[in-house]
Amino acid sequence: MDSTLAIAYLGALVVLLAGVSWLVVRQIMKARSLESVISDLQPKLQKEKGSPEDYYQLGSVYLRKKLFAQAIALFNKAIKEGGDNMPEVYNALGFSYFSQEQYDLAIKNYKEAIGLQVGYVTAINNLGHAYEKKKLLPQAIEMYEQVLKLEEKNETASRRLASLRKQVVAT
């Protein structure tokens, strides 16, 4: 009986350690991938003028690493270098500002992204969230409704819209 319990305990421990090891290895691989992009693009952009896509790609890596100030600078460079027709740059810039609680700048950039690509669901959702943070509930509701017209099964918009409607009814 004792040996069965010990074997079960060891088996559970091995499974647990294998799971934790797998998670650690996965995180290391993600970090290495991000660092690889940085080590490729950063020296290139310091030596020569890059394309808007280069600045956007490096800015996106910084955004994933939560280095918002560096990401904002790179997204602005992408726009300056001709990426002013790239809605994803404006959306990422808006998200960077949103993450720093600069909601007015976030709203401005989300609107720019939507203006460049009508029906840009991610930017519309993000705009709704920014309005929500600014306590502009009617505008937020309108954005989430717009998302659901474009993408009926959008879980984020459905969840946020239901929550906002409850708040509006409660007040």
Identify the pLDDT of residue 32: 74
User: What single string gives the DSSP state of each residue in 135-155?
Assistant: T-HHHHHHHHHHHHHH-TT-H
Q: Which of 98, 84, 165, 85 is nearest to 127 (CA)?
A: 98
The counts of H helices and E strands in the chain are: 8, 0
Q: Which tokens go with 91?
A: 């959306």
Identify the pLDDT of residue 62: 92
Identify the pLDDT of residue 20: 85
Identify the pLDDT of residue 40: 75
Identify the pLDDT of residue 34: 65
Domain 2-170 coded CATH 3.40.50.720: no
Look-up: residue for tokens 């959008």? Answer: 154
Sign of CA pseudo-dihedral 66, 115, 128, 144:
negative
Q: How far apart are CA 73 and CA 57, in angstroms?
A: 12
User: What single string gives the DSSP state of each residue in 36-73?
Assistant: HHHHHHHHHHHHSPPPHHHHHHHHHHHHHTT-HHHHHH
Say how many CA atoms lie within 13 Å of 163 toward its Cβ.
Answer: 11
Q: How far apart are CA 165 and CA 149, in angstroms?
A: 17
pLDDT means per 10 residues in the chain (171 residues)?
82 87 82 70 76 91 93 95 88 98 98 96 97 95 96 94 84 64
Q: How far apart are CA 25 and CA 18, in angstroms?
A: 10
- Ordered by start, the domain boundaries in the chain are 2-170
